């Protein structure tokens, strides 16, 4: 096959993965998706034999080295624990893994030391946070979740895996599958939002994208589902703060995406930083042993979050560093990320007979098995010559652009302002305004800016490329964006791309707004691009208020007063308080952090070359005071469904500004003909079908969503719960029947009174439509 043909075949496969085959019509429900098991050219038994026999030859120090991930950057405490250079450690003992090195030459050099110069020649796993792309940066995870398109997400993460492998990274610390119900929490951007069902679907898709059908598939990486578990429930949305989560919420809400990742074959998990119900997650036997190993039969290994083992002392859980090593290790944590605590203290623990050699062997075995499964013993090195070609593959950019088109969420479009005319007939001049209007690194979000991103198209550039010379496009920056309290990530070498915008005096801010208003007055339409720079969302990026910061609200209101049509494009990692805009700005587009092709993808949407189809994976609050906010809460006294209900607050409606699952299109859809099998035994399945019709004038994708409610039972049940969804592409006037099956996976819940999973013989409501307020209703009953 010549190169052009190879490329075309690859591209076609990618597009099929991306859009699915036309005959793929069945809706997604958990029960229709079987769990995966690890398979490999070497059978599991053979892998076990190889790992066991290698283990038998290992000294204690060599074993403990496999339980350790060495920091790729300088860390004083690590140096204090381990008074040797990385090369010396590798040569003498080897290492389980090395963190944060992504130069293929350096990876090969270090691997050479481990493989050629250490006694047992055990290769090292190189790990990095490739969260939504390595060189081609895809939209941030919350954006990809907004696509409700699992095939697309799988395809994007497959590209991320391929690019990672091309530089020698074999392990990514992704997917992040933490449920987040509080938009103050900075890391909402890294996950799939508030819903366990959508979260589980996205977890599964990402694991399959990263790992492929089996660990060891070519051009794929080892996935690591994180942060196990409950990190998203941090008190007050403050990053790293404690979480208090009752057991029923753990099972029903926070754990399902992890379970889905494990069922999809995720080879590793990362334990979280925070205390869960007063027991730090990284030393929590209930999580790491009872849930993960006992209940779920997880066969892979668990790595701590960075330095989380040594932090057990800070929590007031461990007495000293040795006790920290003891508590993490005996809880079931296999690998210590970067702190060197295991390296120094596990040998002492053994000497003092506080742990046994059998326990050490049990912890090492899954790490060795993973390395065998991944074929690292046969192929430890990266072929440096493939790097350029893989990273610069134009097909990757094409997939990234489609991913943007399918991820952005149209929140408002009064009077059909969008799409804009690009031919210069009605619009001759456009003002692009705002501190994110010409941003590049800030479109990538934190982790995207931390790997080795290629060029990024800003929104201004995307618009200019779209309209060419037919329309005049001018730019006004407006006020600069800065955090009030700087991020610790700013200024460190790896994160050099992430920068605050320079400080301004009040006078300068005022002037920047005045300049923007002048430009708006001279233009036919103003496109305001507002939100958060990358340092404002992500780790260490929680906020106490969701308001548009740094004078952006003033800018928005002043430009709106200029009397020209205004389109607001939001670049951010979480819902923001846009209550004023929701009443006064005719068109609002949520772009999230759209990645390398952000500018092009958003211009495609703004000018109608693509039809928006994203739907919110989180409930969008009216104000910060509503947080935490989520749609799948319980029905209680004076429920919001009763006719005289107004609000649970006296100063604001308690409903969201935009509900979970919400998103507009340039066309419209109608849902009808809902058919549901009226009854089934508790062990059986309920069949559901309904018609969706494109009732507007443009082709577009509907996201059909199915919600259920159990009316009574051994515990109160949420007012609605998502239990199925499907993206359906429809030409104008076209109709499609979608089918869903509700089985045990959808109908069961963990009952706090029964203390177990139950499917109960009760009456259920079912709704189907385009968001979580869907009106099309039916009922069914489960019988004994
Ligand atoms: C983050 C993890 C990340 C790790 C390694 C930690 O600070 O919480 O999500 O994987 O660093 O980069």
- Report how far apart the first and last C-alpha atoms of the chain are (Å, whole number): 60
614-634 pLDDT tens trace: 999 999 999 999 999 999 999
- Looking at ligand 1, which residue's alpha carbon is closest to its atom 12? 129
Is 254 touching ligand 1 by the criterion CB < 6 Å?
A: no
Choice from 187, 539, 541 to test ligand 1 binding pocket (greatest atom count within 8 A of CB): 539
Query: How far, CA to CA in Å, does 458 sit from each of 345, 358, 435, 441, 560?
Result: 49, 55, 11, 9, 23
Q: Please report, to the nearest 10 degrees, the dihedral formed by the alpha carbons of residues 192, 196, 197, 198 taken in order.
A: -10
Give backbone dihedrals phi and psi of 771, rounded to 5 degrees, phi first. -165, -175
Q: Is 632 exposed, middle or buried (0-12, 13-18, 19+ CB in 10 A)?
A: buried
Ligand 1 atom nearest the C-alpha of 539 is 8
* CA of 66 relative to ligand 1 center, distance in Å: 20
What CA–CA distance (Å, rounded) separates 501 from 550? 11
Atom of ligand 1 nearest to the CA of 174: 10
**For range 303-310, the mean pLDDT:** 97
Token representation of residue 696: 């507007």
CA geometry: angle at 697 spanning 696 and 703, to 5°? Answer: 50
pLDDT for the residue numbered 77 = 79
Residue 22 has pLDDT above 60, yes or no: no
Strand 301-303 relative to strand 525-531, pairing: unpaired
Name the most confidently modeled range: 62-76, 82-96, 542-556: 542-556
Give mean pLDDT, residues 466-492.
Answer: 94
| Ligand 1 site, residue 173, Cβ cutoff 6 A | yes
Give the per-residue pLDDT at 381. 97
User: How much distance in Å is there from the Cα of 128 to the middle of ligand 1?
Assistant: 9
> Distance from the CA of 225 to the center of ligand 1, in angstroms?
12
Instruction: Kindly list the strands in the beta sheet with 587-590, ordered across the sheet, starting from the edge strand earlier in the chain.
Output: 409-413, 587-590, 566-571, 525-531, 429-433, 472-476
Q: Point out which residues pair with 721 in neighbouring strands.
A: 708
Residue 260 has pLDDT above 60, yes or no: yes
Given pLDDT bands bounded at 50, 70 and 90, which one contains residue 640?
confident
Of all protein residues, the one whose alpha carbon is nearest to atom 5 of ligand 1 is 306
Burial of 398 (0-12, 13-18, 19+ CB in 10 A): middle
Q: Among 317, 292, 314, which residue's Cα sits nearest to residue 303?
A: 292
- Which residue puts its alpha carbon closest to atom 7 of ligand 1? 306
**Per mean pLDDT, which range of 580-584, 641-645, 710-714 is the poorest?**
641-645
Residue 35's pLDDT band, with cuts at 50, 70 and 90, is low
Residues in a beta bridge with 276: 243, 279
Distance CA 693, CA 301 (A): 47
CA of 184 to the centre of ligand 1 (A): 19
Confidence grade of residue 39 (pLDDT, cut at 50, 70, 90): low
Please state, as a whole number, how many other Cβ atoms lie within 10 Å of the Cβ of residue 297: 8
Q: Which comes out higher in pLDDT, residue 194 or 16?
A: 194
Distance 306 CA to ligand 1 centre (A): 6
| Cα–Cα dist 483/500, whole Å | 7
Q: pLDDT at residue 32 above 70?
A: no
**Across the chain, what does the average pLDDT equal?**
94
State yes or no: pLDDT of 656 exceeds 50.
yes
Does the structure show a pLDDT above 70 at 699?
yes
Query: What is 126-195 written as a DSSP string?
Result: EEE--SS-SSSPPPPHHHHHHTT-HHHHHHHHHHHHHHHHHHT--EE---B------TTSGGGGGS--S-
Q: State whether the beta carbon of 539 lies less than 6 angstroms from ligand 1.
A: yes
pLDDT for 79? 84
Q: What is the pLDDT of residue 42?
A: 58
Q: Of 34, 200, 27, whose CA–CA distance to 686 is shortest?
A: 27
| Buried-state track 566-602, b at ≥16 Cβ within 10 A, e below 16 | bbbbbbbbbbbbbeebbeebbbbbbbbbbbbbbbbbb
Q: Would you state the torsion angle of the CA atoms of residues 279, 283, 286, 289, taken in this order, to the nearest 10 degrees?
A: 180
Instruction: Report pLDDT digits (tens) over 350-373.
Output: 999 999 999 999 999 999 999 999
- H-helix or E-strand containing 726? strand 721-730
Q: In the annotation, is 305 catalytic?
A: yes
Report residue 328: phi and psi, to 5°.
Answer: -65, -45
CB 704 within 8 A of CB 738: yes
306 pocket-lining for ligand 1 (C-beta < 6 Å): yes
Among the residues of 305-458, which ranges form H helices? 308-311, 321-331, 341-351, 357-373, 387-391, 394-407, 445-448
Is residue 226 in contact with ligand 1, taking CB distance under 6 Å? yes
For the chain, what's the residue count? 784
pLDDT of residue 23: 32
Contacts 24+ apart (CB under 8 A), 512-516: 512/476, 512/477, 512/478, 512/479, 512/480, 512/551, 512/555, 513/478, 513/479, 513/551, 513/554, 513/555, 513/558, 514/558, 515/476, 516/431, 516/433, 516/434, 516/476, 516/477, 516/478, 516/555, 516/558, 516/559
Write down the pLDDT at residue 489: 87
Convert the pLDDT of each residue in 395-422 to its tens digit: 999 999 999 999 999 999 999 999 999 9
| Confidence bin at 17 (pLDDT 50/70/90) | very low
Indicate the SS3 state at residue 257.
helix
User: Do residues 217 and 211 make contact, with C-beta atoms less than 8 angstroms apart?
Assistant: yes
| Ligand 1 atom with least separation from CA of 128 | 12
Token pair, residue 547, equals: 């308001």
With a cut of 90, say whether residue 124 has pLDDT above it: yes
Q: What is the pLDDT of residue 41?
A: 55
Q: Is any ligand 1 atom within 6 A of the Cβ of residue 178?
A: no
Q: Is 305 in the pocket of ligand 1 (CB under 6 A)?
A: yes
In tens, the pLDDT along 726-736 reads 999 999 999 99
Query: Quick one: average pLDDT of 159-167?
Result: 98
Asked if residue 294 has pLDDT above 90, the reply is yes
Question: C-alpha 168: how far from its chain's center?
Answer: 23
List the one residue out of 142, 133, 132 whose CA is nearest residue 572.
142
Nearest CA to ligand 1 atom 4: 306
Q: If you average pLDDT over residues 216-242, what whole number do you get?
A: 97
Interval 131-152: pLDDT, tens: 999 999 999 999 999 999 999 9
CA distance linking residue 102 with residue 213, whole number of Å: 25
Compute the distance between CA of residue 60 and CA of residue 57 in angstroms, rounded to an integer. Answer: 10
Q: Which of 75, 305, 534, 771 is catalytic?
A: 305
Q: Which tokens sit at 158?
A: 């497959």
């Amino acid at each position: 096959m010549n190169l052009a043909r190879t490329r075309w075949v690859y591209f076609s496969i990618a597009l099929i993965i991306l859009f699915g085959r036309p005959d793929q019509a069945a809706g997604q429900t958990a029960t229709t998706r079987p769990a995966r098991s690890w398979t490999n050219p070497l059978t599991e038994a053979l892998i076990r034999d190889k790992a066991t026999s290698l283990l038998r030859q290992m000294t204690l120090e060599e074993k403990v080295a496999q339980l350790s991930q060495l920091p790729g950057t300088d860390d004083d405490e690590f140096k204090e624990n381990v008074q040797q250079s990385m090369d010396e450690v590798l040569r003498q003992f080897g290492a389980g893994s090395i963190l944060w090195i992504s130069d293929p030459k350096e990876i090969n050099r270090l691997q050479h030391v481990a493989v050629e110069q250490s006694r047992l020649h055990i290769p090292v796993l190189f790990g990095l946070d490739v969260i939504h792309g390595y060189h081609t940066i895809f939209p941030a995870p919350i954006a990809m979740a907004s696509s409700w398109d699992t095939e697309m997400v799988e395809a994007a993460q497959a590209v991320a895996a391929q690019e990672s492998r091309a530089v020698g990274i074999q392990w990514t610390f992704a997917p992040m599958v933490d449920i987040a119900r509080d938009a103050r929490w900075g890391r909402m951007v890294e996950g799939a939002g508030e819903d366990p069902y959508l979260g589980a679907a996205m977890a599964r898709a990402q694991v399959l994208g990263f790992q492929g059908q089996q660990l060891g598939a070519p051009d794929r990486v080892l996935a690591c589902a994180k942060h196990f578990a409950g990190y998203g429930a941090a008190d007050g949305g403050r990053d790293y703060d404690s979480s208090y989560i009752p057991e029923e919420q753990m099972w029903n809400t926070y754990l399902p995406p992890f379970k889905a990742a494990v069922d999809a074959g995720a080879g590793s998990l990362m334990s979280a930083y925070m205390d869960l119900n007063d027991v730090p997650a990284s030393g929590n036997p209930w999580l790491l042993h009872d849930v993960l190993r006992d209940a779920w039969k997880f066969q892979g290994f668990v790595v701590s979050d960075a330095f989380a083992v040594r932090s057990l002392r800070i929590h007031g859980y461990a007495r000293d560093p040795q006790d920290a090593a003891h508590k993490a290790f005996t809880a079931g944590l296999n690998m210590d990320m970067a702190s060197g605590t295991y390296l120094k203290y596990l040998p002492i623990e053994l000497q003092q007979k506080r742990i046994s050699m059998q326990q050490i062997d049990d912890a090492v075995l899954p790490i060795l098995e993973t390395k065998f499964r991944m074929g690292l013993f046969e192929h430890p090195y990266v072929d440096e010559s493939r790097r350029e070609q893989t990273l610069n593959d134009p097909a990757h950019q094409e997939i990234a652009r489609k991913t943007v088109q399918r991820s952005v969420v149209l929140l408002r479009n009064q009077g059909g302002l969008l799409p804009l005319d690009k031919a210069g007939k009605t619009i001759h001049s456009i003002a692009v305004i705002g501190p994110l209007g010409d941003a590049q690194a800030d479109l990538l979000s934190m982790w995207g800016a931390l790997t080795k991103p290629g060029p990024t198209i800003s929104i201004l550039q995307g618009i200019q490329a779209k309209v060419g010379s037919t329309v005049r496009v001018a730019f006004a920056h407006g006020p600069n964006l800065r955090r009030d309290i700087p991020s610790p990530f700013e200024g460190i070498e790896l994160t050099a791309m992430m920068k605050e915008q320079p400080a301004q005096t009040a006078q300068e801010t005022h002037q920047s707004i005045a300049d923007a208003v002048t430009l708006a007055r001279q233009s036919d339409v103003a496109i305001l691009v507002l939100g958060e720079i990358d340092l404002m969302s992500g780790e260490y990026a929680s906020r106490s208020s969701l308001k548009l910061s740094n004078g952006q609200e003033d800018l928005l209101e002043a430009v709106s007063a200029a009397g020209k049509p205004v389109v607001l494009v939001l670049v951010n990692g979480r819902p923001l308080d846009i209550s004023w805009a929701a009443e006064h700005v005719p068109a609002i587009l949520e772009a999230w952090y759209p990645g390398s092709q952000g500018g092009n993808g958003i211009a495609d949407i703004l000018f109608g070359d693509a039809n928006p189809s994203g739907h919110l994976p989180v409930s969008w609050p009216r104000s910060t005071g509503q947080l935490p906010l989520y749609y799948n809460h319980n029905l209680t006294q004076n429920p919001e469904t009763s006719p005289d209900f107004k609000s649970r607050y006296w100063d604001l409606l308690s409903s969201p500004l935009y509900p979970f699952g919400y998103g507009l299109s340039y066309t419209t859809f109608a849902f009808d003909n809902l058919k549901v099998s009226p009854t089934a035994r508790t062990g059986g399945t309920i069949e559901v079908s309904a018609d969706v019709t494109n009732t507007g004038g443009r082709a577009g994708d509907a996201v059909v969503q199915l919600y259920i409610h159990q009316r009574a039972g051994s515990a109160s049940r949420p007012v609605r719960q998502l239990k199925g969804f499907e993206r359906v592409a429809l030409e104008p006037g076209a109709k499609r029947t979608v089918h869903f099956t509700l089985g045990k996976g959808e109908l069961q819940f963990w009952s706090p009174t029964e203390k177990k999973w139950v499917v109960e013989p009760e009456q259920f409501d079912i709704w189907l439509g385009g968001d979580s307020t869907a009106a099309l209703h039916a009922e069914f009953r489960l019988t004994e």
